[in-house]
Amino acid sequence: MKQNRTIIILFAVLGVLLLLYFVFASDDKKHYQWYENYKAGSDQPYGTSFIKQMLQSYRGEKNFIYSSRKPLHEVLDSIGNQPTDYIFIGQSLHLNQKDAQALLDFIQKGNNAFIASLELPENIVGIYVNECSADITLEQRSVESVTLNFYHDTLRTTNGYTYRYRFMSDDMKYYWNAFSNQIFCDSTKALVPLGYQDPDHVNFLKFPYGEGNIYLHSNPLVFSNYFLIKPDKAEYASSVFSNLDGKNILWDEYSKVSFTGNNNPEISPLYFILSQPSLKYAWWMMLAAVILYVFFAAKRTQRVIPVLEAKANTSLEFVKLVSALHYQNQNHLDIARKKMKYFQYFIRARYGIHTQMAPEIQIARLSEKSKVNIAEIQSIYDQYNQIERNSQYNTAIDKLVGLYNAIENFYKHCK
C-alpha cells in the first residue's frame, strides 16, 4: 500500500507539471525559439521558410523542387538535363560519397550550386585547386554587428546592409564567419570574391567547376526569417540570388541532417517530435514518468502474506479436560498423586532441590529458599502422606481439597 501511494504521488506531481506547462505555454503571446534551425518549414526567427517562399516566387511552383525525403543523387537523376540551381542553406551540408559525386557531376554539366553554411562541405570545396597554396577555410570574428555589401557595381549599395544578431529581446555578439584572406593572392584567377564584410573580409565567393559554378556564402544567418522581414535585408538576399540563372531551383532540405546510407532521421517521427518544443517537452516528461514507474513499480511484487491466527495455548483446556474426567470418575487418589507430582517437579525446576533426599532436609531447604513457613510446607507433606497411607481406599473429597488448598497457598507465597 505504501509503494502504491508513492507511485500515485509521483504521477500526480508529473500531471501538475504538465498542466502548468501547457497553461503557460498556450497563452496568446507568441513564443519564439531563438536557436538556428534553418528549417524550411519553420517560421521561427532562424528558420528559412521566408527565403524558400521568396525563391519559389522567382521560378514559380512548377519550377521549384523541394527535396526532403530522397537522397540527393536520386533527386538529381530525376531532374535530367534541365538547367537547375542547387540551393542549400543550413548549419552543415551532409553528403555521403555517392551524393557528393552526384552533385559535382551535376555542376560539371553546367548547373550552379549555392551553399550557405557555417561549416564548409569538404567533399565539395575539396575539388578547388589551390592557387595560393591555401585551402578554402573559414575564420570567425566575434562582433556585435557586421555590414555586408557586394563588389559588383550594380549590386553594391552606399551604406551596405547592417546585421545584428538578436537573441530574444537583446542584440548580442555573434561569431560571423568569413573566408580566410590567405586564399586570395596575385595568382588567384578561378576564385572570384562577390561579397564582403566590413569591408576586408570576403563572405561570398564563387569558383567554376566544369561548365558550372559553385557559390559559397559563409553567413546562412542572413537568409533566416528574422532578417528577411525587413525590406533592406530581403533586398540583400535577392541580390545574392540574382547570380543564379537556372530555369529550376532545387532546394535541398534532406541533406541538413547527417544520415547513414539512405536513412535520413529528419523524416522519422522522433526527429519531428524533438524538433517541436512542446512535443519535445512532453516526450521527455513521458520518458521520465516511464523511468519512475520502472524504478518504483517494476520490482518483483511480494505475494500477499496470509494472516495467521495466534496459536492458542491448549494446555489449560487439556488440564481442565483431564480434571473433568477424573472428577467424573471420582478418582480422588489419582488426582492427589498427580497434584503432588507436579508440586515436586516445581520444587526441582525452581529451587534445584532433589526430592529424593530425606523429607525433613527437603522441607528445611525449601522453606529457606522459598521463604515459606516450615509449618505450611510440612502440612503439604503430612496431608499427602495421610492420603498415601489410606491408598487402599478412595480418597475422600475433603482430603483432596485440603491438599489442593495447601499446595495453592504455597504457590501464592513462595519467592
Same domain flag for 203 and 332:
no
How many domains is the chain partitioned into structurally? 2
Residue-level pLDDT at 356: 77
Full DSSP string of 4-54: HHHHHHHHHHHHHHHHHHHHHHTSSSPPP--S----TT--STT--HHHHHH
Same domain flag for 319 and 398:
yes
Has residue 282 been placed in a domain?
no
Q: Which of 239, 267, 295 is the last residue of a domain?
A: 267
Residue-level pLDDT at 344: 84
Residue-level pLDDT at 314: 59
Has residue 278 been placed in a domain?
no
Task: Please state the pTM of the whole predicted model.
Answer: 0.61
Residue-level pLDDT at 263: 44
Has residue 16 been placed in a domain?
no
- Could you tell me the CA-to-CA distances from 219 to 18, 43, 80, 126 in Å, in that order? 38, 19, 31, 20
Q: Strand 64-67's sheet: what is its strand order? A: 64-67, 248-252, 84-92, 112-119, 212-217, 201-209, 192-197, 145-150, 161-167, 170-172
Residue-level pLDDT at 28: 43
Same domain flag for 205 and 333:
no
Has residue 89 been placed in a domain?
yes
Same domain flag for 216 and 324:
no
Residue-level pLDDT at 292: 73
Has residue 280 been placed in a domain?
no
The boundaries of the domain holding residue 167 are: 31-267
Q: Which residues pair with 212 in a beta bridge?
A: 209
End-to-end CA distance of the chain: 50
Has residue 176 been placed in a domain?
yes
Has residue 50 been placed in a domain?
yes
CB 218 within 8 A of CB 121: no
Same domain flag for 257 and 131:
yes
Q: Which of 267, 300, 324 is the last residue of a domain?
A: 267
The DSSP output letter for 220 is G
Same domain flag for 225 and 77:
yes
Same domain flag for 67 and 155:
yes
Same domain flag for 153 and 227:
yes
List the chain residues with pLDDT less than 50.
27-29, 260-267
Q: Which of 211, 246, 267 is the last residue of a domain?
A: 267
Residue-level pLDDT at 3: 55
Same domain flag for 234 and 353:
no
> What is the domain-level CATH number for residue 158?
3.40.50
Has residue 304 been placed in a domain?
no
